[in-house]
Amino acid sequence: MSEPSSLPVAFGDVLAAADRLRGVAVETPLLESDALNAMVGGRLLLKAEPLQRTGSFKFRGAYNAISVLRPPAVVAYSSGNHAQGVALAARLLGIPATIVMPDDAPRMKLEGTRALGAEVVTYDRWRESREAIGEAIAARTGAVLIRPYDDPLVIAGQGTLGLEMAEQAARRGAKLDAALVCSSGGGLVAGCAVALIHCLPGIAVYCVEPAGFDDHARSLAAGTRLANEPGAASFCDALLAPTPGEVTFPINRRLLQGGLVVTDAEVAEAIRLAFRHLKLVVEPGGAVALAAALSGKLDTQGRTIGVVLSGGNVDAALFARILAEAS
């Protein structure tokens, strides 16, 4: 699949982001486990983004956007990972940050954001619009809104993860047949698809979502943006966006092979296997791509699959509960 120049993010944007992030973001390792490979009958190369600064990929896009814009102040809305990414990026660049977070966000994410020096404003996830609150603060204070995914600079920053995956796989002589990337608003998978398909034209890139929040899978099949039914629940707190992004969807519609969907039980099992075989702490939203690979959602037999483990910000009590469950 070729990369059309009409998309809002081009490969050159990802390269420019990689230059800005060099020496600032961590080049996270691409892990491999003999045990997981044996389980899937193929080869899984796992991008360990819990080892990124702030514990998730979100720092990449936030830093790229803020370092280009250099505004007097920033505001962001986020369930927690974008919050921490924006907070750290702003602090490194000497810019004050206000973050709008749901009051039921994981405690670790709320505390982590405050610990990074940002002001946190909480809201009710089911009754208030985070977008409206964020835009009101921006209008009142003059701060620039750093969107979690509908921003070409943010998408290009997240794309550096896909670029690193392609480079790291090539360095070890592996040829990726497919890549699995989690999706909420679709910024990470859009950026990664731009980078991966440029570097590896034959690769099939899939987004992965939790059941009940499969708006991308259905929208990609329908060719138009569809919303999730209200009332669904998932413990993948990072992946609850109601609909594909306006900026991200045209990219994903053009570049993605399709969308895969996993249950919370499949995600919990993936978290346990990452604990056991990778020694890595992966949060629920960060484990959906691994869950798809391990639960047979695509053919892994004899193939080499890039899998994004996108974050590790999970409260200790929930992680302990997941470990304690029989698999």
Q: Is 189 exposed, middle or buried (0-12, 13-18, 19+ CB in 10 A)?
A: buried
Near a second copy in 89-148, by CB under 8 A: 108, 115
Query: Could you say which of 19, 231, 301, 324 contacts a second copy (CB under 8 A)?
Result: 324
Query: Could you say which of 192, 240, 278, 289 contacts a second copy (CB under 8 A)?
Result: 278
Minimum CB separation of residue 281 from a second copy in Å reads 4
Q: Between 31 and 203, whose beta carbon lies closer to a second copy? A: 31
| DSSP notation for 149-213 | SSSHHHHHHHHHHHHHHHHHHHHTT---SEEEEE-SSSHHHHHHHHHHHHHSTT-EEEEEEETT-
- State the binding string over 68-97 for a second copy (x if CB under 8 A, else -): --------------------x---------
Q: Which residues contact 5 (CB under 8 A, 6 or more apart)?
A: none
Stretch that binds a second copy, among 152-160, 230-238, 244-252, 317-325 (CB under 8 A): 317-325
Stretch that binds a second copy, among 6-14, 148-156, 190-198, 274-282 (CB under 8 A): 274-282
Question: Is position 320 an interface residue for a second copy (rule: CB under 8 A)?
Answer: yes
Q: Between 120 and 211, whose beta carbon lies closer to a second copy? A: 120
Query: Could you say which of 9, 20, 50, 146 contacts a second copy (CB under 8 A)?
Result: 50
Query: Could you say which of 20, 47, 53, 60 contacts a second copy (CB under 8 A)?
Result: 53
DSSP at 78: -
Question: Is position 280 an interface residue for a second copy (rule: CB under 8 A)?
Answer: yes
- Which tokens in the block code for residue 230? 């209200």
Instruction: Give me the helices (H) in 226-276, please.
Output: 248-255, 264-273
Instruction: Name the one residue in this structure whose structure tokens are 């749901």.
Output: 102
Q: Between 18 and 281, whose beta carbon lies closer to a second copy? A: 281
For residue 145, the cross-strand partners are 75
- State the binding string over 20-49 for a second copy (x if CB under 8 A, else -): --------xx-x--xx------------x-
- Which tokens in the block code for residue 4? 């059309």
Instruction: Give me the helices (H) in 70-144, please.
Output: 81-92, 107-115, 130-141
Question: Is position 235 an interface residue for a second copy (rule: CB under 8 A)?
Answer: no
Minimum CB separation of residue 284 from a second copy in Å reads 14
Count residues binding a second copy (CB under 8 A).
Answer: 29
Query: Could you say which of 14, 42, 55, 198 contacts a second copy (CB under 8 A)?
Result: 55
Dihedral over Cα of 67, 71, 73, 77: its sign: negative
- Which tokens in the block code for residue 69? 């814009």
Question: Is position 222 an interface residue for a second copy (rule: CB under 8 A)?
Answer: no
Q: How far apart are CA 235 and CA 46, in angstroms?
A: 22
Q: Between 53 and 297, whose beta carbon lies closer to a second copy? A: 53
Q: How far apart are CA 298 and CA 191, in angstroms?
A: 22
Query: Could you say which of 24, 51, 93, 133 contacts a second copy (CB under 8 A)?
Result: 51
* Strand order through the sheet with 119-123: 119-123, 97-102, 74-77, 144-145
Give me the residues that bind a second copy (CB under 8 A), please: 28-29, 31, 34-35, 48, 50-51, 53, 55, 88, 108, 115, 272, 275-276, 278-282, 312, 316-317, 319-321, 323-324
